[in-house]
Chains A and B, each alone.
Chain A
Amino acid sequence: MMRVPFFRYLAPTTVAEAATILRGEGAEARLFAGGTDLLPNMKRRQQTPKTLVALRGVEELRAVTQDGGLTLGAGLTLSQVAAEGRIPLQQRALIMAAGKVATPHIRNMGTLGGNLCLDTRCNYYNQNHDWREAIGFCKKAPEGEAIEEVTHGTCWVAPSSPRCWAVQSSDSAPALIALGAEVSLVSADGERRIPLHALYHDDGMAYLTKRPDELLTQVHLPQVDASWRSTYWKLRRRGSFDFPVVSVGAAVSLDEGGVVQAARVVVGAVTSYPVSIDTSALLGQTLSDEAIAAFADAAVKPARPLDNTDYHLSWRKRVVREYVAGALKELRGDSLEDLGLLARTAARILPLAACS
């Protein structure tokens, strides 16, 4: 049986207590919410934190408040988010993304904040210790004695590259960035609020800009008018369990004539951070087939899928184009049925957003 290594367990009941603990514990401590990401990593000895700072008892992290926009506590489970009736239809991309994470069980446990802070993934990294030993470990998880000195600390995805290419695999991040969400980070020094896209770094190891002494407490959805619509498309091999290996979060504001007033398109799971695509070419245009095709062609460029997830990387790159195009067509009003098989799979809304 795979087991969790020893740890010290601290369970604060307020954000302030948690922040104080984090300040005192330093890098040895890890925040622990749903446990669905951290515990597997600990069982595989990818991470062996000395201290877990458990957030389950922090009630304030589960608050939902309407303040013009909507503020969601980071401690809400993904099931709760997917069933949250106060999220407006215009921002359904979040419901779609939260409702497609892993499995019903995982969504009942994993939290919104945990999904946003999900460790980057790589199938050279998400392996047991002895497997990683057999490849001489890698840049992201170099701990342990290398069995062949020459291989130590290599990123096996791109052995000549100086960086780690683990993949940002959060479902909710591309959706929320597309929705223009912001997040609150709290430390003992106080609180700061940043656009969600600024939470991420293009680096498989230092993938978050959040400091170790900060905790992500809230997600803020902006107030939107009826001109907005949004969607989330997810590529995975199976209908459940799997992390995304390409995802697209998209939101547009269209005027009555269908002209794009504002747009945000974010491609996830194709490199170490959610990639926001420059949408300026869409502004002032209608979402014609031609405009969408040109935009989708351009969107492929920043996507850099590598051979460290499911599916062949060149195929994933092809899918990026079709997903971006398909998501925009859905947003201009094409029905999923008309968009065909790919769209039905990618944007399927599961009948049970919340299974409890």
Chain B
Amino acid sequence: MTKEVAGDRKVLGRFVVNEEQHQVAYAPHKTLLEVLREDLGLTGTKHGCELGECGACAVLVDGVPTLSCLTLGLEAEGRPVTTVEGLACDGRLHPVQAAFADLGGSQCGYCSPGVLVTAKAFLDSHPQPTREEIKEALAGNLCRCTGYMQILSAVERAAEELAQ
């Protein structure tokens, strides 16, 4: 059966973000980025271009690194979404977050949310990564501050932590 949504009025959507259910009325032309930031108040997810050219808006959808700026809210309903707000658990930083904080992975911190969720998903599937693999996994996240070096070191540190 074809689902149809008209464009001119808000729709009621059910989103599953960081394992919490949200019901929210949102404009159907909105991207997941806009729904997260503007309708759910989850401003941890950033935007740098809104055109898929920087990776700042990356989140996990179905566990997969995805650009929220190019994902329609309509197509994210009901699917598990993980944002940077969902990485820490009970106030404890995820190992990749702790490594970022300790090793200089964040300077201005603006690209960090997108990098962190991407790195988290990557480490879930690649527990013993090489540096080249980390670079490739993060090749869709621009960072203007760090030159990536301390980001790569932080991901390596996190992999070591997670292995223990």
Min C-beta distance of B87 to chain A, whole Å: 17
Tell me the bound Cα distance from A2 to B49 in angstroms: 8
B67 at the interface (CB under 8 A from A): yes
A241 at the interface (CB under 8 A from B): yes
State which of B16-24, B129-137, B155-163 sits at the interface with chain A.
B129-137
Known A-B contacts A5-B29, A240-B140; A11 and B50 likewise in contact (beta carbons under 8 Å): no
CB <8 Å contact, A109 and B1: no
Interface string of A1-24 (1 = CB under 8 A from B): 111111111111100010001000
State which of A34-42, A133-141, A149-157, A250-258 sits at the interface with chain B.
A34-42
State which of B3-11, B96-104, B105-113 sits at the interface with chain A.
B3-11
Min C-beta distance of B68 to chain A, whole Å: 10
B120 at the interface (CB under 8 A from A): no
Min C-beta distance of B35 to chain A, whole Å: 12
B64: chain A residues at CB < 8 Å are 79, 108, 356
Tell me the bound Cα distance from A12 to B75 in angstroms: 13
For the residues of A in contact with B, the DSSP-based class is loop
CB <8 Å contact, B47 and A1: yes
Q: Which of A6, A43, A352 contacts B7 (CB 8 A)?
A: A6
B50: chain A residues at CB < 8 Å are 1-3, 43
A144 at the interface (CB under 8 A from B): no
CB <8 Å contact, B140 and A104: yes
Min C-beta distance of B136 to chain A, whole Å: 5
B74: chain A residues at CB < 8 Å are 9, 11, 54
Tell me the bound Cα distance from A1 to B69 in angstroms: 10
Q: Give the number of chain B interface residues (Cβ < 8 Å).
A: 45
Q: Which of chain A's residues has its CB closest to B38's CB?
A: A1
CB <8 Å contact, A10 and B139: no
Interface string of B37-75 (1 = CB under 8 A from A): 000000000010111110100100001111101111011
B118 at the interface (CB under 8 A from A): yes
Known A-B contacts A12-B2, A43-B51; A105 and B29 likewise in contact (beta carbons under 8 Å): no
B63: chain A residues at CB < 8 Å are 356
Interface string of A21-63 (1 = CB under 8 A from B): 1000000000000111001100110000000001011000000
CB <8 Å contact, A9 and B140: no
Interface string of B126-154 (1 = CB under 8 A from A): 10001011001101101000000000000
Binding site for A on B (CB under 8 A): 1-8, 28-31, 34, 47, 49-53, 55, 58, 63-67, 69-72, 74-75, 118, 121-122, 125-126, 130, 132-133, 136-137, 139-140, 142
**10 A-B pairs (CB sep. < 8 Å):** A2-B51, A12-B2, A35-B70, A102-B140, A105-B58, A108-B65, A241-B139, A350-B136, A351-B130, A356-B125
Q: A2-B50, A12-B2, A35-B70 are in contact. List 18 more A-B contacts (CB 8 A).
A: A4-B72, A6-B7, A9-B28, A9-B74, A10-B4, A36-B52, A39-B69, A43-B50, A43-B51, A104-B136, A104-B140, A108-B64, A108-B66, A109-B66, A241-B53, A241-B140, A351-B132, A351-B136
Binding site for B on A (CB under 8 A): 1-13, 17, 21, 34-36, 39-40, 43-44, 54, 56-57, 79, 102-106, 108-109, 239-241, 350-352, 355-356
Ranked nearest first, the 8 interchain pairs of A and B with the lowest CB-CB distance are A103-B140, A240-B139, A2-B50, A6-B7, A11-B3, A9-B5, A105-B140, A40-B51
